[in-house]
């Protein structure tokens, strides 16, 4: 896992772990997500929010090379992605419990498949592979279930197995698609605790979710998508916790109004914090509404011009 | 030495059964995992066209069937990946095209119903020494590939999207599985016949999954079940004068019914035991 540098100090020193510049993704000729600028630094825990059809899953699939890039650039640790290297640095936890096929498979067997891309074909599991699988099982608290058939586990436990499978590859960035969808409230809390434990170990997380509630203590930044565009990038403000469609509509409307405001007073004021206009040129500043708002990838807004 | 082993044709038949019994479930386990249990049937139908082509051109049917089936398997995989047709529709087209091509070509070759039956239902006792050498090579290829690359094949079979996202060569592994399926079909057609090929790939896995918890143990038990039933089936067909293919498959089905019923009973007993323990653990006053 990664260590967490002082992100404000890291700017300019190391490239962000993930950088999207005017990136667009889609399927065939259909562009679903467009002009996304996003930087994720080591140790950050970012939630990608949005209602159904907002393009958040397409954004995630685009990062992983599962949806086509229609424009812009994607870099993982300064290198163009997706590449063989970037795929191995990015751990993917899919939404659906797709692991259980027609044949019984133990938890350990599923988690072990996470190590496959790290070794050559025909080479059997090595000692370090087994150690990484053990560590991944421990990290999600599933070691005692290692020899159980994965299809006999509860939904929440199966989700943990998928997280462990991604962790087994010792990725730099863990990408989760709707980790809480389809599990009961108790399991959702358990999963949130697991993710909080990973966050405490400085794992870089990118979580796509339509409901951030139980993850409020885990994520430290929210990116909101609406109609395929980023409408908010900043701290997890209270309006986002419910993340209902109405709340998102309101956010978008506020964003639009502030955007107009910014353009109107372009030389008089910086854009409001977190609200995306063109944050490569403007630095955010704290406001009375959201005193802690910060620029993506920046921990100390006060270090920038106020 | 038992009388049955004094006949060369029976020794060859038993060795062929052993090879097929080992190899077929080792591929079948990935097909069951992908929920593509019937793809072997589709391949079997295509193999019939290959056999008929061999008969028509006067070439040995087994190698021609091998080439035709491998090409068809690769084409199906590519269509599934890049085409606009669903996997099940491609499979249906394969079924119909294969059997229609086979019937027409066998008739054109002047083949009789007896020739067709040999391939449709198997004729293990007609295995020649040359056939056996080809079978041994094919079985070795299948076993080496499924054991050497088994974990990768299993990963792609159970979660193709994750495999793609994590950088495994999904297309190559899918093609490999398609080709291995084709090879197994050709290997098995003389033993159980083209119409029953899928049974030898799938039913041993169905038996093993009733009692196993892991992919590995399911694979090994399925191979054991496949080998034992194939050999016992051939022996039964010798003593009972029954067709070998049908006999082997009936043994497999019987085993499946027994293990399925047995595991259902065990599960029910466990459930009852669990409920009883729960009742005992709950104070009387709290029981509803």
- Cβ contact A59:A254 at 8 Å: no
- B32 CB within 8 Å of a chain A CB: yes
Determine the 3-state secondary structure of A287 from DSSP: coil
Per-residue pLDDT for A274 more than 80?
A: no
Strand order in the sheet with A79-80: A30-40, A18-27, A68-76, A79-80
Give B202 to chain A, closest Cα distance, Å.
Answer: 11
A51-65 mean pLDDT? 91
Percentage of the residues of chain A whose pLDDT score is greater than 90 = 49
Angle at A236 between CA A233 and CA A238, to 5 degrees: 125
pTM: 0.84
The tokens for B46 are 């295509």
Q: In the prediction, which pLDDT does A16 show?
A: 92
- Cα–Cα separations (whole angstroms), residue B167 to A21, A91, A137, A211: 23, 11, 22, 29
Per-residue pLDDT for A267 more than 60?
A: no
Give A167 to chain B, closest Cα distance, Å.
Answer: 12
Within 13 Å of residue B43, how many CA atoms lie on the same side as its CB? Answer: 35
Sign of torsion, CA A209 A215 A216 A217? Answer: negative
Per-residue pLDDT for A53 more than 50?
A: yes
Flag if B37 and A169 touch (Cβ within 8 Å). Answer: no
pLDDT tens digits for range B186-231: 988 888 888 888 999 999 999 999 999 999 999 999 999 999 999 9
Q: In the prediction, which pLDDT does B172 show?
A: 94
Per-residue pLDDT for B288 more than 60?
A: no
Chain A residues within an 8 Å CB radius of B164: 65-66
- Cβ contact B57:B7 at 8 Å: no
pLDDT band, residue A304 (cuts 50/70/90): very low
- Cβ contact B173:B153 at 8 Å: yes
Chain A residues within an 8 Å CB radius of B159: 94, 98-99, 113
Q: In the prediction, which pLDDT does A137 show?
A: 97
Cα separation of B184 and B66, whole Å? 9
φ and ψ of B13, to 5 deg: -65, -40
For residue A82, cis peptide bond before it (omega within 30 degrees of 0) = yes
Per-residue pLDDT for A305 more than 70?
A: no
Chain B residues within an 8 Å CB radius of A84: 167
B23-47 mean pLDDT? 92
Chain A residues within an 8 Å CB radius of B270: none
Burial class (CB in 10 A: 0-12, 13-18, 19+), B138: buried
pLDDT tens digits for range B128-180: 898 899 999 999 999 999 999 999 999 999 999 999 999 999 999 999 999 99
Strand order in the sheet with A90-93: A90-93, A173-177, A204-209, A45-49, A221-226, A229-234
Nearest to B215 among A104, A117, A147 (CB): A104
pLDDT tens digits for range A239-250: 776 545 565 566
Which residue did the predictor score with more confidence, B74 or A259?
B74
Nearest to A116 among B29, B151, B212 (CB): B151
- B36 CB within 8 Å of a chain A CB: no
- B212 CB within 8 Å of a chain A CB: yes
Q: In the prediction, which pLDDT does A102 show?
A: 86
Give me the residue label for tokens 């020739």: B115
- Cβ contact A63:A55 at 8 Å: no
Which residue did the predictor score with more confidence, A88 or A164?
A164
DSSP structure class, residue A291: T
Per-residue pLDDT for A285 more than 50?
A: no
- B218 CB within 8 Å of a chain A CB: yes
Q: Nearest-CA residue of chain B relative to A152?
A: B213
The contact set of A with B (CB < 8 A) is 64-66, 84, 87-88, 90, 92, 94, 98-106, 109-110, 112-114, 116-117, 121-122, 147-149, 165, 169
Q: In the prediction, which pLDDT does A255 show?
A: 60
Chain B residues within an 8 Å CB radius of A132: none
Cα separation of B288 and B275, whole Å? 14
Per-residue pLDDT for A287 more than 60?
A: no
Q: Report the phi/psi class of residue B170: left, alpha or beta, with left for phi > 0 and alpha for psi in -120 to 50.
A: alpha
Average pLDDT, chain A: 79
- B229 CB within 8 Å of a chain A CB: no
């Amino acid at each position: 896992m990664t260590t967490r540098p002082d992100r404000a100090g890291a700017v300019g020193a190391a490239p962000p772990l993930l950088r999207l510049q005017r990136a667009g993704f889609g399927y065939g000729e259909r562009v679903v997500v467009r002009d996304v600028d996003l930087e994720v630094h080591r140790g950050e825990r970012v939630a990608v929010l949005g209602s159904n059809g907002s393009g958040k899953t397409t954004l995630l699939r685009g990062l992983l090379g599962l949806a086509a890039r229609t424009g812009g650039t994607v870099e993982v640790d300064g290198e163009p992605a997706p590449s063989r290297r970037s795929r191995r640095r990015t751990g993917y936890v899919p939404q659906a419990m797709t692991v259980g096929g027609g044949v019984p498979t133990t938890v350990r067997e599923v988690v072990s498949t996470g190590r496959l891309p790290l070794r050559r074909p025909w080479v059997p599991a090595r000692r370090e592979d087994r150690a990484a699988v053990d560590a991944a099982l421990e990290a999600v608290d599933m070691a005692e279930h290692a020899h159980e058939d994965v299809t006999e586990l509860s939904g929440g436990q199966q989700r943990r197995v998928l997280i462990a499978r991604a962790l087994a590859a010792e990725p730099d960035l863990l990408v989760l698609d709707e980790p809480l969808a389809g599990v009961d409230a108790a399991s959702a809390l358990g999963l949130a605790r697991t993710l909080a434990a990973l966050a405490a170990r400085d794992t870089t997380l990118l979580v796509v979710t339509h409901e951030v509630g139980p993850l409020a203590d885990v994520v430290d930044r929210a990116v909101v998508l609406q109609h395929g565009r980023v409408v908010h990038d900043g701290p997890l403000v209270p309006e986002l916790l419910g993340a209902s469609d109405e709340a998102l509509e309101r956010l978008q409307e506020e964003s639009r109004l502030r955007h107009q405001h910014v353009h109107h007073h372009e030389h008089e004021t910086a854009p409001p914090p977190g609200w995306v206009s063109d944050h490569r040129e403007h630095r955010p500043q704290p406001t009375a509404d959201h005193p802690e708002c910060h620029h993506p990838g920046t921990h100390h807004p006060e270090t920038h011009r106020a | 030495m038992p009388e049955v082993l004094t006949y060369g044709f029976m020794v060859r038949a038993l060795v062929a059964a052993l090879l097929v019994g080992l190899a077929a479930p080792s591929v079948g386990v990935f097909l069951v995992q992908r929920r593509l249990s019937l793809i072997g049937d589709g391949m079997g139908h295509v193999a019939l066209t290959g056999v008929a082509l061999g008969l028509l051109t006067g070439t040995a049917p087994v190698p021609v069937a091998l080439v035709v089936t491998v090409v068809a398997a690769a084409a199906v995989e590519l269509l599934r990946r890049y085409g606009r047709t669903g996997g099940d529709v491609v499979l249906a087209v394969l079924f119909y095209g294969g059997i229609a091509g086979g019937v027409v070509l066998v008739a054109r070759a002047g083949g009789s119903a007896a020739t067709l039956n040999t391939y449709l239902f198997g004729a293990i006792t007609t295995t020649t020494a040359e056939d056996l050498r080809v079978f041994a090579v094919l079985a070795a290829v299948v076993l080496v590939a499924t054991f050497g690359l088994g974990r990768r094949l299993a990963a792609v079979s159970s979660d193709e999207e994750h495999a793609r996202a994590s950088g495994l060569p999904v297309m190559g592994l899918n093609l490999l599985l398609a080709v291995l399926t084709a090879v197994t079909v050709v290997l098995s057609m003389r033993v159980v016949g083209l119409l029953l090929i899928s049974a030898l790939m799938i039913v041993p896995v169905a038996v093993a999954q009733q009692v196993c918890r892991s992919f590995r143990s399911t694979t090994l038990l399925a191979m054991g079940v496949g080998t034992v039933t194939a050999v016992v089936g051939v022996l039964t067909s010798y003593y009972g004068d029954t067709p070998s293919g049908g006999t082997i498959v009936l043994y497999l089905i019987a085993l499946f019914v027994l293990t399925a019923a047995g595991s259902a009973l065990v599960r029910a007993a466990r459930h009852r035991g669990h409920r009883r323990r729960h009742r005992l653990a709950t104070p009387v006053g709290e029981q509803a």
